[in-house]
A and B are shown apart, each in its own frame.
Chain A
Amino acid sequence: MGLLIEGRGRRRRVRVMPALCLGLSMGLADGSGAAEVQQHRDADSGLLSWSVRESGLSLQLIQMLPDYVAAVYSSRGLPPEVLESIAAYCVFGTIVTNTSDTRVSYRVADWRYLTPDGRQHHIKTKTEWLAEWQGMGVAYRWSILPDDQTFEPGDWSQGFTTIALPPDSVFTLLYSWSYEDETHEGRIDGLRCAPASASQE
């Protein structure tokens, strides 16, 4: 892990009540003090990563260079169509961890990303990726972060999160999870897609 160079971003945690969800998520903290989103830069690769520890869950996002992502799929022997399909996306290695001693769950279908124009966008899920790949005759079902997981204590998962943005794009991730019978929301501002190649960094 690289050296911590700065803390950035703000996180708000709320109990979700549908009608108040948006307003609360933008305005109220939980009173315990906002957990800081930590940004790291890997000393060797120059790639950035972000991590945040929430109630019951931690989330880490790591920039992935397009060439690296392509190598993962090509080294699995997957056809060029698969590589082309994911090449249009900005990819983050993602680790979701249950940090509690009880059950925690998440659903990527509930997550969104927010672009600087203020628009919220759906995140393409593993199910959607697999359906697309199946249409190409490919049954490969690994590497993408599982859509929805219910974690028991000690459980965690990793995989790619795909954002339909070009290299170097900046956006905000809006994510949610369930813990102790409540749905929580968080956000990470200032996420940046990996550059098109390592030399740009």
Chain B
Amino acid sequence: MREESMGCAVRRRVHRRNNVCRLLVGLLLGSLLTAAPVMAQMPVPELSHQMTRQDNPVAAPDFILQDMDDEQHALKDYRGQVVMVNFWATWCPPCRREMPSMEALYRKFHQDGFSVLAINEWEDPELVFPYMGQLSVFPTFPILFDREGEVSVAYQVKGLPTTFLLDRKGRIVFRAVGGRDFNHPEMEQIIRELLK
């Protein structure tokens, strides 16, 4: 639809490995957002590092989503790891602010069995790809696409960003609504405890 009108014949749900086209479309879409920094006008509160421990952990809903390279990621394949599941979108300023701190946490603990799955809501890789290049640190964890929002519904996500921490058994053990600074000693302590 809109992508086709931009000359790259990119159709919804047809992911192509044409990063040049992706970049061009993304830059155009990105410039639209830059020209209209609606949510960016909003003064974001100082980010805390608190996550809320879930008194009665429940099994995290499973999902299978594609990343930017069309590779599929199934949550069940991460069983046995501590997983941070983050729901986000490019228009969301706190999502942008917290992502580098997620990357820092990921780099510290990935070797020990910690993974981050950042699930983008509703947007296309063509928009997300150039956005990633604007971050202070390019994320090395998987960026997944929940194009129809079904996974966020399953997780009962009401607003973005929302983040869940899953233990090695695949249970939701912590939750945070709103942006966070994950690169904090208390967060690191939580991850260490879950990795034990």
Query: In chain B between 1 and 60, which residues have their CB closer than 8 angstroms to a CB of chain A?
Result: 1-2, 29, 32-33, 35-39, 41-45, 48-52
Residues of B within 8 A of A90 (CB): none
The reply to whether A97 and B149 form a contact with Cβ atoms under 8 Å apart is no
Cross-chain contact B45 with A45 (CB below 8 angstroms): no
Q: Looking at chain A, what size class is its interface with the partner chain?
A: 35 or more
Min CB–CB distance A125 → chain B (angstroms):
12
A7 within 8 A of B: no
Judge whether A154 and B158 touch: CB under 8 Å.
Answer: no
Task: Judge whether A141 and B91 touch: CB under 8 Å.
Answer: no
Chain A residues near B92 (CB, 8 Å)? 158
A68-91 interface mask toward B, CB cutoff 8 Å, 1 = contact, 0 = none?
Answer: 110110111100000000000000
B176 interface residue (CB < 8 Å to A): yes
A-B contact list, 28 entries, CB within 8 Å:
A1-B43, A49-B43, A60-B42, A68-B36, A71-B38, A72-B38, A72-B91, A74-B32, A75-B32, A75-B91, A75-B127, A93-B38, A93-B39, A95-B44, A95-B45, A97-B178, A141-B149, A142-B91, A143-B91, A146-B158, A147-B158, A152-B175, A154-B50, A154-B176, A154-B180, A157-B177, A157-B178, A158-B178
**Chain B nearest CB, measured from A177 CB (Å):** 15
Chain A residues closer than 8 Å to B42, beta-carbon distance = 60, 62, 93, 95, 158
Which residues of the other chain, A, contact B127 by a CB distance below 8 angstroms? Answer: 75
Tell me which residues from 37 to 77 in chain A have a Cβ below 8 Å from any Cβ of chain B: 42, 45, 47, 49, 51, 58, 60, 62, 64-65, 67-69, 71-72, 74-77
Interface string of A135-156 (1 = CB under 8 A from B): 0000111110111010111111
When distances are taken between beta carbons in the complex, the residues of chain A under 8 Å from B148 are 139
Pair B51/A154 contact, Cβ less than 8 Å: yes
Asked whether any CB of chain A lies closer than 8 Å to the CB of B63, the reply is no
B138 cross-chain contacts in A, Cβ below 8 A: none
Binding site for B on A (CB under 8 A): 1, 42, 45, 47, 49, 51, 58, 60, 62, 64-65, 67-69, 71-72, 74-77, 93, 95, 97, 139-143, 145-147, 149, 151-159
Pair B39/A42 contact, Cβ less than 8 Å: no
User: A93: which B residues are within 8 A, CB to CB?
Assistant: 38-39, 41-42
Could you tell me which B residues sit within 8 Å of A by CB distance?
1-2, 29, 32-33, 35-39, 41-45, 48-52, 89, 91-94, 121-124, 127, 148-149, 158-160, 175-180
Q: Is the CB of B45 within 8 A of A97?
A: yes
Contacts of B93 in A (CB 8 A): 158
Which residues from chain B contact A69 at a C-beta distance below 8 Å?
A: 38
Q: Which residues from A are CB-within-8-Å of B121?
A: 142
Identify 5 new A-B residue pairs, CB closer than 8 A, beyond the known A71-B32, A93-B41: A68-B37, A72-B39, A77-B1, A95-B44, A154-B180
Q: Are A151 and B39 closer than 8 Å at their CB atoms?
A: no
